[in-house]
Amino acid sequence: MTLAPGLLSFGTTDGAATVHGVHGAAGVTHWKAFAGRRQLASPTEAVEWASIPPYGLSGEHRHTRTEEIYLVLRGEGEFLYNGTAHPVRPGSLALTAIGNVHGLRNTGDAHLDWWVIETIPPTTDAVLNGTASRTPGVPTMRPPALHDLFKERTVTTEGVFSGPLRSIDVVELEAAEHRTLGRLDAELAVFVHDGQGTVRTDGAIADLTANTCLTLGAGAAARFEPTTRLRLLVVTLALPGESGTPQ
């Protein structure tokens, strides 16, 4: 589809790739990337979706240059954090800072789906841009944080992340209700968890179904109009030099 101005990416999880041996684990992972550094102005590496089949594994690996969220969308399993397993279900949210080892195991009989957003903190950004010190210090390793997003409704990354990813929110709309989302100082990544409706951006309109993901540029606005109860998951990605805090 031709994207409306301000809409940086738009797609569904249909047509996901099948990847073998992700992070050294046996078996397959279904994976799709929606947006990355070529589309986004914030220092965001990637906005992705992933899924592993029953009893599958996304292998444990250490994060050395990026901060990352895992948000479980469907299924049950375990987050593997620095050698310890934590049970997860839909709404389980993990914030992984640089230095930590993490992975994800499916312990159920259905696929385990999760949303992945990986961002670049200032220390990594300085290296990529060639402005880092010749003898940079080692970043302080901040412990991972686990949340129940569907219970808490809003989770901020303060004290865990130093990069652009500022908050993760749940927005729920009833049929015939509407909400306009947009920020002057940040890009928004939006995932439709459940429900159907439409989204309007700058005169263009697109249908929304479960497992639709879109990214919205800073300064743009999108009007969400549900035809059924609609659950949106919204991530705020601050632009360089901006706070990304709510206005």
Q: Write down the pLDDT at residue 139.
A: 56
Residue 75 CA to chain centroid, in angstroms?
Answer: 17
The pLDDT value recorded for residue 149 is: 98
pLDDT over 80 at 126, yes or no: no
The per-residue pLDDT for range 14-36, each reduced to its tens digit, is 999 999 988 877 788 999 999 99
Residues 217, 2 contacting (CB under 8 angstroms)? no
247 pLDDT band (50/70/90 cuts)? very low
Q: Determine the pLDDT at residue 128.
A: 74
The identity of residue 109, as a single letter, is: D
In this predicted structure, what is the pLDDT of residue 121? 92
Share of the chain above pLDDT 70, in %: 93
Q: Where are the domains of the chain?
A: 7-238
Topology given in CATH for the domain delimited by 7-238: Jelly Rolls (2.60.120)
Check pLDDT > 90 for residue 125. Answer: no
Average the pLDDT over 163-185 and give the result: 97
Please give the biggest Cα pair distance in the chain: 57
Count CB atoms within 10 A of the CB of residue 231.
Answer: 16
Residue pair 104/49 in contact by the 8 Å Cβ criterion: no
Q: What pLDDT shows up at residue 8?
A: 94
Query: What digits encode the pLDDT tens for the residues 36-53?
Result: 999 999 999 999 999 999
Question: Which token pair is 81?
Answer: 């954090």
Cα 160 from Cα 158, distance rounded (Å): 5
Q: Are 42 and 240 in contact (CB under 8 A)?
A: yes
Residue 84 has pLDDT above 60, yes or no: yes
Query: What's the pLDDT score for residue 246?
Result: 41
User: Count H helices, E strands: the chain?
Assistant: 2, 21
Give pLDDT tens digits for 133-164: 544 455 567 877 899 999 999 999 999 999 99
For residue 31, CA distances in Å to 48, 121, 160 come to 7, 24, 26
pLDDT at 213 over 90: yes
pTM for the full model?
0.92
**Bigger pLDDT: 132 or 192?**
192
Position 135 scores a pLDDT of: 46
If you average pLDDT over residues 51-73, what whole number do you get? 93
- What is d(CA 130, CA 36) in angstroms, rounded to the nearest whole number? 20
Answer for the pair 226, 167: CB distance below 8 angstroms, yes or no. Answer: no
Mean pLDDT, the chain, integer: 91
